[in-house]
Amino acid sequence: MKRIKYFDYNATHPPIPGLLNKILEEYEEDFFNPSGPTRFSLARQGKIEEARKVLAKLTGKDPKGFVFTSSGTEADYSLIYFAKQFVKTTAYLSPFEHAAMYSSFRSLGIPYKVLSADKSGLVSLSELESYLKSEPGPVFVLHAGNETGVIQPIEDLAEVSAKYGMPFYSDLIQSFSKIPVPFSVLNGFTFSGHKIGGGLGSSVLWFDPKHLPEGGVFQGGNQENGHRAGTENSPSILALAEAAKIQFAEMENKNKRLEYYRNKIESKLKSLGAEIVAENSPRLFSTTFALLPLDDLDFFMMGIEEKGFAVSTGSSCKSRSREAAPSLLSMGYSNEEALRAIRISTGLYTTEEEVDSLLIALEETILSIR
């Protein structure tokens, strides 16, 4: 099978070359259960604690607040589980959260209100303040949209939340290591290893340790300092920490390249009659969400894959269902418009040669269908 030209980094980041092999080779020799009583197990646990310290150094947050989980979904659920203590009447969410967020609130029986948005893709500070003024509650707003790439003003949102004595939490799964994050204003956040090239199997929740209670979603063991029972996936945890170090070191240079690539991609799409969603809003350099000038995306997706390219129609949790992207509907787009959306996302290993070949493939495919 020929190599796919990959433009779906927001779904998952390709593993950093050599990293997983290195981690697994080490694990074959040092395979001990981190929770065991022997000095070998204690040494393995020590490596997990070192990974926690790596993340603490990168974020400036207390290492005691980091809890390793199996996935971003579990991390989001755990964040809400721990934050429930601050909900007196209701909580506030953006309309752009991962589906796991809304499902977690419903599963835990926590009432919430969804903030409104317009075609800018940005939530309203004034609306949030009016809600908090009348009925204070914790606020949950993801930093960067996994479909639109729109970057929310979380410093301003956190300031409004703090004004009314409420904590502010953010899903950083699309922004962590892609752009600078104001970690200091966050009372809790989540991110995931496979989104940064660390492979599947490990994600992270950080919660203010002053308010981190004993127990968690999974109970019955004292792993993760008593906050998440179950034997730790130590290889994935170590891979996540190593990937984070690499991505943070590459961030500035990477973004210069990706901004250039994004401009080329969007210029071509617009010349073909596409609309760039939230074009004038702050967005990730890695992400383009566009409405194509086509009635049906099925032929487009088949054509672009046949040419050897991987792009997406939106969030990986929704893209197979061929439903309209909820993010677009919340921004005021019609169902018909939302069903014409594609997402192109780039990353650390995207090359200009790949981008140039994508531009040709986009033009050929769209013109052949129109």
Q: What digits encode the pLDDT tens for the residues 126-148?
A: 999 999 999 999 999 999 999 99
Separation of alpha carbons 58 and 16, rounded Å: 19
Phi, psi of 348 (to 5 degrees): -55, -35
Q: State how far the alpha carbon of 59 is from the alpha carbons of 37, 133, 189, 333, in Å.
A: 31, 31, 11, 36
Q: What stretches of 60-198 show up as alpha helix (H) in DSSP?
A: 72-83, 99-107, 125-134, 154-163
Amino acid, single-letter form, for residue 53? K
Q: What stretches of 181-334 show up as alpha helix (H) in DSSP?
A: 223-226, 234-271, 297-306, 326-330
Separation of alpha carbons 251 and 76, rounded Å: 25
The confidence score (pLDDT) of residue 296 equals: 80
Inter-residue contact 169 to 83 (CB < 8 Å):
yes
Separation of alpha carbons 57 and 63, rounded Å: 8
Inter-residue contact 15 to 9 (CB < 8 Å):
no
The confidence score (pLDDT) of residue 1 equals: 34
Q: Select from 114, 116, 112, 135 the least CA-distant residue to 126.
A: 116
Separation of alpha carbons 178 and 151, rounded Å: 11
Separation of alpha carbons 124 and 179, rounded Å: 22
Residue 370 token pair = 């129109």
Q: What is the CATH number of domain 5-13+250-369?
A: 3.90.1150.10
CB-side neighbour CA atoms (13 Å) of 31: 4
The confidence score (pLDDT) of residue 92 equals: 98
* pLDDT tens string 54-102: 999 999 999 999 999 999 999 999 999 999 999 999 999 999 999 999 9
The confidence score (pLDDT) of residue 314 equals: 64
At residue 122's C-alpha, the angle toward residues 119 and 127, to 5°, is 110
Per DSSP bridges, beta strands 287-291 and 341-345 are antiparallel
Q: Select from 219, 226, 202, 232 the least CA-distant residue to 36.
A: 232
Q: Select from 128, 157, 121, 126 the least CA-distant residue to 112.
A: 128
Environment class of residue 323 by beta-carbon count within 10 Å: exposed (0-12), middle (13-18) or buried (19+)?
middle
341-345 β-sheet, strand order: 275-276, 287-291, 341-345
Separation of alpha carbons 178 and 247, rounded Å: 8
Environment class of residue 183 by beta-carbon count within 10 Å: exposed (0-12), middle (13-18) or buried (19+)?
middle
Q: Mean pLDDT in the chain?
A: 94
Cβ neighbors of 207 (< 8 A, separation 6 or more) are: 65, 67, 79, 82, 83, 187, 188
Given a cut of 50, the residues of the chain with pLDDT beneath it are 1, 316, 318-319
- Which CATH architecture does the domain made up of 19-246 adopt? 3-Layer(aba) Sandwich (3.40)
Q: Tell me the domain boundaries of the chain.
A: 5-13+250-369, 19-246
Environment class of residue 296 by beta-carbon count within 10 Å: exposed (0-12), middle (13-18) or buried (19+)?
exposed
Q: How far is CA 356 from the centre of its chain?
A: 27
Strand partners, 121: none
Enter the pTM of the model: 0.94
- DSSP letter (8 states) at residue 33: -
